[in-house]
Amino acid sequence: VDGSCSEWKTFSSRGISFPTDQIQMVSLTATFSNYDYNSKDIRTLTAKCPNGGIVQYIIDNLISGLDFVISCNDNTWRVFSCNGQRIFCLNCKRSCVKSASCPGTTFTVNPCLAPCPIHASAASIMNFNFMYVELFPNFVQRPSVFYADRLTASVNFSTSSPGTVHCAAFPYGYSVRTIIDIRDRGFYYSRTAAAGVEIASIVISGLVPSTSYIAYCYTEDYAGHIMSIEKVLSTAVAFNTSCCKSIIFTKSYSTVTALTAAGNIQEFEILLQAPPSKSTLTVNLTVSEVSCRNGIQLRTDLSSFTKAKPTSFSFLPLSTVRLSRNFIIAGYQGCYTITAKTFGTLEVFNTSVAKKYIEIYDPALISFPAPLPLEARFQSDGSTLILKFSAPTNQPGPSNQTASFPCGYLIQFLGYSQSTCLWTAADQLQVLLNSNAVVVPYNSLKILGNRITANCLDNCNKYRYLQQTTLSILPPYGAFKPVVALTSSKTIGACDDIILDATGSLGNGGRGWKNVSWSVIANIPASNLSLIVNYLNKYCTDVTKLVTIPNNLLLAKDPDIFVFGTTYTFTLQLKNFLQQSSQKKLTVFRNPYSDSIPRLQIYSSVSQSAYYYRWKPLTLFADASFAPCAVSYSLTSLYYTWSVYRGIDLVSDVISSSKDPRYFILQPYTLSSTSNYTFKVTVSVNPVTKTNTILSSISTEIHVGHSGVIATIAGGTYQTATTTATASYIDASGSYDIDYPSSALAFNWSCIVVYPNYGSSCNYLFLATGAVQRLPVSFMTAGTTYQITVIASNTFGISANSTCQLRVINSYIPTVKIEDPLVKYNQDDKIILSGFVTSDGDSFAAWSLSESSINVGLGAPSFLPTVAPTLSPTTKPTNSPLSPYPSMLPSSHPTISPTSSVRLSTAPPAVTPANIAFSLTPLSKYITKGVTLFQLAIRPNSLSPGGKYTFNLEAAYVTGSQASVASVVVQMNMPPRSGVLTVTPASGYTLTTLFSLVTSLWVDDL
């Protein structure tokens, strides 16, 4: 810094303050040179204090503005304040007289004192030398790969002290930028034993055969000290997984509906574990008739005609785009084996074969078996169960079913009566547990009989019910490790209590902790320490509330302790019902000299255990209060100063937008992704002496993660094109990088036919790689539905995809597009869907809700009509709420999809208030030439939480015979559940009592 007064103020109050205790001072060298213009004398002094502890005291008192003097290396080092200005000097007396405190008279740093009544010049240099101390556990034995097979690798290591080790493997060539990249992979090991050196290992799964990897590991202790990324990179270890790459079934069914039955769209999926590296690889699909298992007889004369659609796939070398492919089985009743085999490459794929046994049933010939339950399993966070079935079900629920319903209708388990169920897919039931849940792994789950059948669209009387079945509930594949959040004021006064806050801890699965254990280390007599430990473990095991250690337990009679103060290190260990545990350490210093130290905490809009993302706003709140026993100042006289660090560097361009100094508020896109920031607040008071004395400080870390990419195709998830136009445009330019929206993305397009000839490629439609694609209609066939997928990737290789279906007809139609809805809506939101109809003449348009939203049991309200609005060329719509469904098209009007998920009728449904209860705006509209905005406003609280709704906008010319259709899916948010709100105290007085509101045990699906 330069020698100005403002620079000295910044340096002495903030510039020598570090955000972490891993920075420790080593020495201070001070150099002075004074020149007296009258006597022509030059006086110089260079002094060094090699005691890092003393240097830290000098820094602390420069920051606080308190008087301090000490001898070090035969020199006297002094800090004091005059009229609120900090002064540092060597071998001097405490004096605010200008003749004694002006620079040039003594060896003094005091650039803020002006004017000075002397004729002299002075120069001074303060050189603080510090070092980085590694408080995190070090590797005694560096990470090494003990073994690696096709899909996993075991990393061995040993550490110098207790803490957590995180490891992850990345493909060779991937650039690891921060420890966030490693933590996101979720492989960890926790050491609690303080003594000895133990060899431990972490098994990394989800790897790809015959692939080169580099494993990275980092450590952190239970006080939050994290290994630097530089050291992490220096301990990286390379390894290779064993042979061989293969193909696997990632989505399949044991029972399939025959081709002759309605609704035969059960998509299978195969996954290529890695792309070929030398030449194009082809996967051939064959369906072979085999003898049925369990003695059943299904064969018919047509069984030999069963086949996969499509029968083959091609994968280009080194391409990581779409390593999965979908297909269907188009065939007849019988038992079969599906075989996927690779051909055409020089690699080890040559022998890669995947097989799957299936049974095809035709309900017109034989009763269709019920899907079998595959498993009931806890999810990793323990707050939900997932029940999976072997095939799509009828998704039953109570007759008044919305999206979610009481689980007792379908299943029973220990404590089921307070749980809620939700069909998240046709073959998957989600069980939402509450805070009173008692079910644990390996308890029994009973599926009630005569409820569940296979998904039925025709001949439903031929579908057999699943009979009562009992399963053992399995533990999660990777149980969630608790994240212990423990905060307190860093320093307290002599008469104050210690208040510990663990309410932000996560990982309890939405229920109480199975075990809560406290331990304490302090420089006090063992008898006092035992009292504190026993008190915590007897009275403070409910960490949903603030924990208060009364001051009388903190008093120590040892005079040495009273003189030097007491440092308490608290360790809190939490264990959840899934037997996973973790711990956190926190240090609190008790100052024996002052009762006027405020309790100071930082509350954040970001959980301690979660990442912050730069697209979100950030709010930090510094809460300062005085103990009742303290010689307190008015809270309005407190001054708050915030400092922001990136690593250990002070960041001056990150500035709060709040006018209230207690708040530090950042607008979105201020911080950098994949970075760690420390926010430090200091609280000071300005007494009558005008000495700006800092009383307390505290800091919090914010880890900024990377959010990824949003891919979107404009116009709706279902769109219509016509061969009467010259081209159709598919637009993905609305895709964006969530963290850096203005950055460029790369686009890759693919296409398959889904109707009538499922699975055939239509990649020939895409002649470019940009965000907007022009599809020549001469390349498209009327009566065909194309499924178009775009993959949008950012510069970090993170990608996302979006899919739409484009139905092509040979008719003159208006163009219909719908703006993308939000990702999710809350139940009390008023939802606005915006549609645009481009018409060359008079036409009609109408909004509707797909009947599939009702059939699949995803929360359609009871007031929805049983038929979609229809169009007639002879009747104009009116604005009357009693006629929202005018007859607008003949019965030849096409359905929304080839599977007839929406029934259309020439006659409008009966008009009742219930039919229009969900809509705040008319459902139909007369359209003239041009571009017309047609919005649908959906009434708040009319759609069910957790429900997924498909809304359609249709338009047709008055003289036309077919309609253009666009569709979007609206996903409703499930509200948070299981939590409690604790208010302390339970009663009080207006404008007098300070209330604490604490939330805990909450679980959300976001």
pLDDT tens, position by position, 452-506: 999 887 778 889 999 999 999 999 988 888 889 898 988 888 888 999 999 888 8
Phi first, then psi, for residue 216 (nearest 5°) are -120, 140
Stretch 12-32: mean pLDDT: 85
Amino acid 906: pLDDT: 27
pLDDT above 60: residue 909: no
DSSP string, 787-843: EEEEEEE-TTS-EEEEEEEEEEESS---EEEEPPPPS-B-TT--EEEEEEEEESS-E
Of 1001, 970, 901, 980, which Cα lies nearest the Cα of 403?
Answer: 970
C-alpha triplet 482, 488, 489: angle, nearest 5° = 160
The encoded tokens of residue 290 equal 């085999």
Using one digit for the tens of pLDDT, what is the confidence trace for 300-321? Answer: 888 889 999 999 988 887 666 6
Q: Return mean pLDDT, the chain.
A: 83
pLDDT category of residue 635 using cuts at 50, 70 and 90: low
> How big is the chain, counted in residues?
1006
What are the strands of the beta sheet with 663-666, ordered from one edge? Answer: 599-604, 618-625, 663-666
One-letter amino acid for residue 287 of the chain: V
HEC string of 537-564 equals HHHCCCCCCCEEECHHHCCCCCHHHHHH
| 3-class secondary-structure state, position 719 | strand
- The pLDDT > 70 percentage for the chain reads 88
Q: Which residue has the tokens 């007085």?
A: 989
pLDDT category of residue 192 using cuts at 50, 70 and 90: confident
Which carries the bigger pLDDT value, residue 76 or residue 765?
Answer: 76
Using one digit for the tens of pLDDT, what is the confidence trace for 820-858? Answer: 999 899 999 999 999 999 999 999 999 998 755 543 333
- Cα–Cα distance between 735 and 692 in angstroms, integer? 52
The encoded tokens of residue 78 equal 């002094």
pLDDT category of residue 116 using cuts at 50, 70 and 90: confident
Strands (E), 205-347: 212-220, 237-240, 247-251, 255-257, 268-272, 281-289, 307-309, 312-315, 324-330, 334-343
Residue 425, classified by CB atoms within 10 Å of its CB into exposed (0-12), middle (13-18) or buried (19+), is: middle
DSSP string, 47-90: EEE--HHHHHHHHHHHHH---EEEEETTEEEEEEEETTEEEEEE
Do residues 697 and 726 make contact, with C-beta atoms less than 8 angstroms apart?
A: no
Amino acid 914: pLDDT: 38
pLDDT category of residue 347 using cuts at 50, 70 and 90: low
pLDDT above 60: residue 261: no
| 3-class secondary-structure state, position 770 | coil
Amino acid 472: pLDDT: 97
pLDDT above 50: residue 688: no
pLDDT above 60: residue 868: no
pLDDT category of residue 880 using cuts at 50, 70 and 90: very low
Do residues 543 and 572 make contact, with C-beta atoms less than 8 angstroms apart?
A: yes
Stated as kind and residue range, the H or E segment containing 187 is strand 187-191
Sign of CA dihedral 328, 329, 335, 339: negative
- Cα–Cα distance between 143 and 168 in angstroms, integer? 11
Which carries the bigger pLDDT value, residue 507 or residue 375?
Answer: 375
pLDDT category of residue 862 using cuts at 50, 70 and 90: very low
What is the pTM assigned to this prediction?
0.80
Amino acid 682: pLDDT: 87
Stretch 270-297: mean pLDDT: 87
The encoded tokens of residue 423 equal 């069909």
Sign of CA dihedral 739, 740, 746, 751: positive
Neighbours of 930 (CB within 10 A): 9
Neighbours of 44 (CB within 10 A): 11
The encoded tokens of residue 933 equal 């905005």
